[in-house]
Amino acid sequence: MNELIDNIMESLEEDTTSANIAYLPSGFAVIKPVLNALARMKKDWNIDILENEDDYLINFENKCQISVKKAHLESFRRDTNIDIGQKIISLDQFLNEAEDEIESLLNMVNINLHELMVRQPINNVDNDLEHWSRLFKGNDISKEDDVALRIGNLEQNMKALNQEIRNKYSDDRGNLELLIDALKNKTPLNAFDVFKNYNYLFGGRMKTVYSGVSMYFEAMVDNSFNMTESILIESPELLDEIEDYKGVKVAKNIVFPNTTTGRFLSSFFGDLKKAIDLLM
């Protein structure tokens, strides 16, 4: 049924085609989104009625045509409050319902974004960035146009991302429902235009100077919910010291986790601090 509704909604968005749908008393849920969509276009519609032997064809200015069996006319009137004896009808009630439904979906998006913060892998990245900050201090220097939700400005970024979603999808129930499912199930977000603007969904890049050693710890979750971590270290002596540590690999001046999770071992930050304290 969702595919049928999607096809009808696509027809409503095109100027050259008319959406055609049949009303059944048990299937009001099918035509309700269509009436909601019409109401968002405008409140008042001219309707033309074509009476056939068994049904009425209700034409909404060639944008949509609803077929209603004569035996179902009273049920149609109860469900829709549409009187086919009128030449101009108001869809105001459906506009209010549509706005309420969209607002409810936007609220669900916000709730699911916040719930992601306590789910893996985002929770792991958040904990590691906090752990790093406790040991080494530092400032987040990740870029706003690179990371949707930056650890250094999370509350403001969350509000800004919700506003982007509202601006993009405030009249697109279908995409909001798909986005909610994607957030719940942690499926890739790149299909949604809002997230295409960012390389990463969540994370930070901490610039730190500890005991004279400059380091950049980056921990990110991308739009496919993959976690990555790395540390750029500007000290050849320190890099030589930690090269053989368990659970790491060193490539030039960057240290990566050598783990299946893409995350540094929980003991590594403490070991790194001890190595710096001994060397410096």
SS3 at position 109 = helix
pLDDT recorded at residue 5: 47
Which residues have C-beta within 8 Å of that of residue 224, sequence separation ≥ 6?
A: 188, 189, 190
Question: What token pair was written down for 120?
Answer: 């893996």
Place of tokens 């798909």: 178
Is residue 33 within 8 Å of residue 9, measured between CB atoms?
Answer: yes
Q: What values do phi and psi take at 227, rounded to 5?
A: -100, 135
Rounded Cα gap, residues 193 and 28, in angstroms = 31
pLDDT digits (tens, 9 = 90+) for 208-221: 999 999 999 999 99
Taking a C-beta distance cutoff of 8 angstroms, is the pair 71, 24 a contact?
no
Whether the CB-CB separation of 139 and 67 falls below 8 Å is answered with no
pLDDT in tens, 194-204: 999 899 999 99
Q: What does pTM read for this prediction?
A: 0.71
| CA 10 distance to own-chain centroid | 21
Q: Pick the closest to residue 138 from 51, 213, 31, 77 (CA basis).
A: 213
- Hey, CA dihedral for 67, 19, 194, 166, is it positive or negative? negative
Backbone angles phi, psi at 5, to 5 degrees: -65, -40
Q: Please report the pLDDT score of residue 141 as a whole number.
A: 92
Tokens of 64: 């949509």
29-63: b or e for each residue (b if 16 or more CB lie within 10 Å)?
Answer: ebbbbbbbbbbbbeeebebeeeeeeebbebbbeeb
Task: Parse the chain into domains and list their residue ranges.
Answer: 2-90, 100-279
CB 196 within 8 A of CB 164: no
**DSSP E strand boundaries for the chain:** 19-23, 44-51, 55-60, 64-69, 88-90, 139-140, 147-150, 200-210, 213-222, 227-233, 248-251, 254-257
Give the residues of the chain that fall short of pLDDT 70: 1-19, 98
pLDDT at 20: 81
Q: Going by C-beta distance under 8 Å and a sequence separation of 6 or more, which residues neighbour residue 120?
A: none
Per this entry, what is the length of the chain?
280
